[in-house]
A = this chain, B = another copy of it.
Amino acid sequence: MKQIANEVQQKLKELIADRSETDKGKRLFDAMRYSSERGKRLRPYLLVKTADLFNVDKERSLRAGCALEMIHCFSLIHDDLPAIDNDDLRRGFKTCHKQFDEPTAILAGDGLLTSAFTVLSDPKTHPDADIRIKLVDLYAKSTMGMIEGEFIDILADRGERFNLQEISHMQDLKTGCLISCAAMAGAILGKASEKESSALKNYSLDIGLAFQIADDILDIVGDEKKVGKALRKDEKAGKATFVSILGLDGARKKAKEIIDHAINELFIFGKKSDKLVELAKFIIERDK
């Protein structure tokens, strides 16, 4: 995972090189790069490892993974804004609007989202236009789902009441959409069969949900220094989360069940999917 993260880092730097048309525009690209410098790179990793099931050329899966990470980073910049989560720290570093300023953060987010589609439309991502346009469609729809999830999450932040089903649905959108997008992009690049796509979709929806439950648990028991952002915010705000509804043990049990289910879906791929099995386990065992 670390190796892929390094490759993603390198490739992102190359893809978000300073393309400013003017001297005065450089700072915008600095902000875009700054906000995509860190991270677990979970989504690109999942994308690359899914594509590996079908022996997809690494350069292609890496580019598609970077485009997805750019969208993920855009969403973090906008989530962190004063009008939304008002967070000062992200991954242990100042958030974009703290390091630069608010207008720059809004536009750097917009820029990362936009540039992801430039990466996808480049023949280097796949020589076949039909594959590239399928990726564009997948990414745009997944991003819209993620944005809706974020919108609903704000309602939860404001103390609106949610039941377990509503929380699950919100998380499916907010976190699940982009995680599922990673697996589906790997399937598109690999020209997966319908049966394979369906198994990967189920797997990715499961790990997306488990990821969010693990996040809710980390928000309670995590070490702020390791996680690199302010914790215990949900509890203080009285926000509905998996932990507030199921309790800590209930949430842990639920996450474990979901991960077992995810791993079962990979059965059809046999040993080739070992990395995806490990990833599923990592999702709920991580401490940051």
Contacts and interface: CB of A to CB of B under 8 A. Distances in A.
Interface string A133-152: 11011011101110110111
- Copies of this chain present in the complex amount to 2
Interface residues of A, number: 55
A136 B119 CA distance: 10
B152 A24 contact: yes
Interface in A31-58: none
A114 B143 contact: yes
Given A83-B102, A137-B122, A147 B110 contact: yes
B130 A118 contact: no
A83 B106 contact: yes
Interface stretch (A15-23, A190-198, A201-209, A225-233): A15-23
Interface in A100-136: 102-104, 106-107, 109-111, 113-115, 117-118, 120-122, 129-130, 132-134, 136
B173 A144 contact: no
Interface in A155-213: 155, 160, 166, 169-170, 173
Given A24-B152, A84-B106, A166-B24, A120 B136 contact: yes
A76 interface: no
A154 interface: yes
